[in-house]
Chains A and B, each alone.
Chain A
């Protein structure tokens, strides 16, 4: 019995849970973690040093690929102050999909930076809201400063076939990175 995981990242409201749900064999579930957070950058804690727990929620789905092989897809917690959660998420992951809403491109910068720095294979999915793709993939690639070997693909997070295609692209990309010995 083996399980593998893929991380789905992107800004708040970009369609991560929809993406996971479109291909998951179960309704997306939510797991919660009670966290200790050093939120000194958010609050002045000098007078309440003990107040540092919070709850982080993560949505995820499952696909049984073979009788003894299960794929989990985890949506990342959106808020920036939960970055430390990501180290746990990407541990042993196949790779990540960064969903992008071209109207709020900057929301995806932190995720792209993080995956680039960690060496995790990733692809960009441009989620076309209402089937609209106002920007060309190359424009998005340029704005995100994505290297040419990283796939940038338009997608529809609601559509099962579209989601499947991105998952396939990510796994192929992870394989080619491994063959090329990039990590």
Chain B
């Protein structure tokens, strides 16, 4: 077969384990809120994309790291059994509670409620610590899904 063959020097991905940090670690090299906001201001000024009315990380108080790692597919549900005055919550948090009446992933929260993934992760982790939501995610230390889980996925896929 004519054409290029893999192995050419084409600027591939980083060596594994990757040098990268997850999005929950974005901007982690910047300690305070202010430099981060300043950066976003500069980025927005030069970006052709429409501006947001509120800067994305304002609602997180400038924090760019959640309390703990949340997978993209981590599932979130509102805990309804605890009566609380929700009007004190930020509108974004109220929206998350509304949206998570059924189980929703962190990725869906970000996509449907139109908030950057990093912001969704921080808010969900905070809300979990405050007992507003429950989170279901597989433990990082488990690595890849085990055979039993894969069998369930396989039989599920065959049925759809």
Task: Give min CB distance, A21 to chain B, whole Å.
Answer: 14
Once the chains bind, are A175 and B12 in contact (CB under 8 Å)? no
Q: How far is B110's CA from A65's CA once the two chains are assembled, in angstroms?
A: 22
Report B-chain residues with C-beta under 8 Å of the C-beta of A142: 1
Interface string of B74-111 (1 = CB under 8 A from A): 11010000000000000000000000000101011011
Once the chains bind, are A171 and B75 in contact (CB under 8 Å)? no
The answer to whether the Cβ of A44 comes within 8 Å of any Cβ in the partner chain is: no
Q: How far is B55's CA from A13's CA once the two chains are assembled, in angstroms?
A: 31
Once the chains bind, are A113 and B154 in contact (CB under 8 Å)? no
Q: Would A72 and B39 be within 8 Å (CB), given that A86-B13, A114-B13 are in contact? A: no
Interface size classification for chain A: 35 or more
Main secondary structure of the interface of B (DSSP, over half): loop
Report B-chain residues with C-beta under 8 Å of the C-beta of A62: 105, 108
Chain A contacts to B: CB under 8 angstroms:
1-5, 23, 29-36, 48, 50-55, 58, 60, 62-63, 65-66, 69-72, 74, 80, 83-89, 91-94, 105-106, 109-110, 112-114, 117-121, 135, 139-140, 142-145, 164, 167-168, 171-172, 174-175, 178-179, 183
Chain B contacts to A: CB under 8 angstroms:
1, 3-8, 10-24, 26-27, 29-30, 35, 38-40, 42-43, 46, 49, 56-57, 71-75, 77, 103, 105, 107-108, 110-112, 116-118, 136-138, 140, 142-147, 149-154, 156-160
